[in-house]
Structure 1
């Protein structure tokens, strides 16, 4: 196991070296920020996301630290991602308490027909433009109420979404190793009380990268799980050594992972390549169709439905199951499209000449259990030795707000009552 971790660290080091010449790694500090006197006495929350950390990975791959900490705190049987189970939509759901169709990040890539602009997760200009993002992220809620926050690479944290950035943050890059991220979090917690962040969000991409490249059931993904587990153990030990009171940890992921059938992909219906009539957006586990002439929607739907195979479903967006919160009635930003083609796992849609990865996500987590995510929590605010049933990820937001004593200042989809039982009662 140690040999595998060392190899993964070496691989990351080579990647880091290759990026050195082009990546700006400097921390950005917003001047003039400080905790109010009241905020200085509040608890701390460190919210950690490990991308693609499937709900069963910790036990499957014996993540010793995560199992130890969560066994003494809170373990969810699984956490249900918002649909689609894709990275950007779900990170923003976790940090705003809103479903993707309500906060606007409905995919990693989409077109906004009102703005006449494309959003792409890899576009730095998009990523740092808060006008794309709906809702109030937890760091913004904290800052507006006099509590200093910090973020290491969480989706949207380099933007002014919600009107305010974290006091300390970094533009996104993948140059830092997990151990370097741990040191940066610890250094934030060493700051004087008036400058010390009480809400910290932290992101690790390594497990998702291994799951995509090698698949979820491989030694490489197991090694990535151990790499992050080691980092979490190191983080907890170093934070404990600081002697701070009331530090609480929440470990989450955005989605799971499944090995897909890349060797026999589904063909995209030929009619959709008529660009004068349609735009389509293919994440391979979901294909969204925008029909340019609204009068054609029903006839196109019937045509697609009549010629579909048993390997995928065709939905009018307004007919999508209500529990997915991804239909026309939910689409507050009009970004989804009117017709959806949804492959049955492990099938994917793939344009000719395009490549795919070994592992993927994006499927309906209610139908494909491999999409389910992880939720663990431990610290003075959480009960001990409690296992809870599955719940939707939008419900994490009100729990963090409750711990930090923050007043939620606009409607959200998450409900505190869903997870109220995991918190210790105030004496």
Structure 2
């Protein structure tokens, strides 16, 4: 019986937290005038007071009432007590949170008495608990439950930030201490397996729908549909037509089930699906700063509950751009990592200032990794094919893959045979080649005619080129980094970190889960929000417990 008492004690502490909030609000009400927003008078607060005007957007910030943990800090991990105080004061001139240790000694004494009485009553009332009940180690998350930050009610909420091109082992570069700490405070995966091909648009839409690219239809950043007799190119506005986009992205699932969604620049979010769109939407804008993105997210969080989105997604391409420009081990990548780490830090601080660290779920993902290129790893396919065969290959699709749709269908077998014979006769040919219907099942890349009849997959780090496209004479091949290779290659591994009541609140802080495919993200988000998922390729039912490793 007694092994359940810590859990019961934790529950009683929540009761006391509510008591503290009520007392604090009373104190504030007594202290402030008609329009004042007073700061509790302590030596430290007086020392740090600034003559800074109250920002209009800060006036509605909820007042947090953080309880002290066993370590004496108010937020475990990311920042200690004093650092958080300084950071929040700098970011938010208005007093966005008040600490329980600043309450009068009389209130602390009274709270201690109440804690003793509540715990004693619970222990007495629970003395007949049977062993058939779930052990303390089993914790649950109820997405239908409202939670309070002390002043406002919050329905289940999740923020998903995608960091394009963030390779899983970039965490080891030493430029992302805040993202690393977020994983320690929450949970992280060993890595996440992208879908094939490991490129941006196919994988972002897989993250959103839980479908493999062959199922949702976005099989590359560029491809041809023989039934529509049209080409998709991700930069063309015509490619946002819903005829290209299959499946049901999570922001549409949310809206169709009466939960608001907000999408900031996520690939595919401009498209109307099932006659629905996200409740709030910001189109892709390459000039938007990371700070502005954080402001947009927090502004959505600050909306009244009846307007506040429960699903928020955001996209940042900085690391991917750095990887293409300089390669995965470049200063460009490290600078971008530092910038994104500060972005995540600001977002974490913004949530902490609103006392939402244990209320709002925050998930950081990426779509794929990155691999360096080299002039020594180029495949000149115009040397492999005969002039006649080369003249009939049509337009290359799916770069860095070589997806060929011959202009003469009768030439398909011949072109394929020439490529295949080369791989068999040259030990290090740098690629493998298949007919579409023979692509290995693990790639999930054969079920639609949007995939060209011939699928040539470069080895990791290799690139298909022609002599017309690249002159070998002393030149450096660009881009210096790329992706799109075998999705199970270590260099293509993606990132997954999550913190919040649906994650470490269930599994425990600092836990690691086994690597999993990114088709599972849709189900994880749907479960977090209490949504009924649309058909998808996920197999875990939105649960991570079954792949917990430590």
Unaligned runs of 5+ in 2: 1-143, 148-152, 471-477
Q: Which has the larger radius of gyration?
A: 2
Q: Deviations over 1:100-152 (max 9, x none)?
A: 010000000111111111111111231x3222111100000000000000011
How many residue pairs match? The answer is: 382
1:335 to 406, 427, 450: 450
1:371 aligns with 2:492: yes
1:158 aligns with 270
Separation in 2 of the partners of 1:201 and 1:113? 33
The whole-number CA distance in structure 2 between the counterparts of 1:252 and 1:106 is 20
Q: 2:442 corresponds to which residue?
A: 323
Q: What are the equivalent positions in structure 2 for 1:411-426 lying under 5 Å apart?
A: 411-417=535-541, 419-421=543-545
- Mapped contact 2:526–2:542 kept (Cα < 8 A): no
Q: Give the Cα–Cα distance (whole angstroms) in 2 for the partners of residues 374 and 393 of structure 1.
A: 10
Q: Which residue of 1 aligns with 2:81?
A: none
TM-score (norm 2): 0.66
Partner of residue 252, structure 1 = 365
Matches within 5 A, 1:5-404: 42-126=155-239, 128-244=240-356, 246-262=359-375, 265-269=378-382, 270-271=385-386, 277-308=392-423, 309=426, 310-327=429-446, 330-331=447-448, 334-354=449-469, 356-366=478-488, 368-383=489-504, 384-404=509-529
Counterpart for residue 24 of structure 1? none
The SS at the match of 1:341 is strand
In structure 2, relative to structure 1, the CA distance for the partners of 1:168 and 1:271 (3 Å cut) is farther
SS in 1 for 2:415: helix
Deviations along 1:261-307, one digit per CA (max 9) or x if unpaired, are: 24552112345886874324244431001134444433332222123
- What runs of 5+ residues in structure 1 fail to find an aligned partner? 1-35
Q: For the residues of structure 1 that align with 2:388 and 2:359, how far apart are their CA atoms? A: 57
Distance 2:481 2:547 in 1: 35
User: Does 1 or 2 have the higher relative contact order (CA < 8 Å, sep 6+)?
Assistant: 1
Question: Hey, what's the Cα distance between the residues in 1 that align with 2:457 and 2:387?
Answer: 15
- 1:59–1:307 distance in 2 versus 1, CA, 3 Å: closer
Aligned equivalents of 2:307 and 2:387: distance in 1?
54
Counterpart CA distance in 2 for 1:166 and 1:272 is: 50
Give how far 1:214 is off. 0.7
Deviation at 1:195, TM superposition (A): 0.7
Q: 1:223 to 1:69 in 2, by over 3 A?
A: same
Q: Is the 8 A contact 2:208 2:250 kept in 1?
A: yes
Query: For 1:68-101, what per-residue CA distance to the aligned partner results, in whole angstroms no more than 9, with x for missing partners?
Result: 1111211111100100000000000000000001
Root-mean-square deviation (Å): 2.4
8 Å contact kept, 1:257–1:359: yes
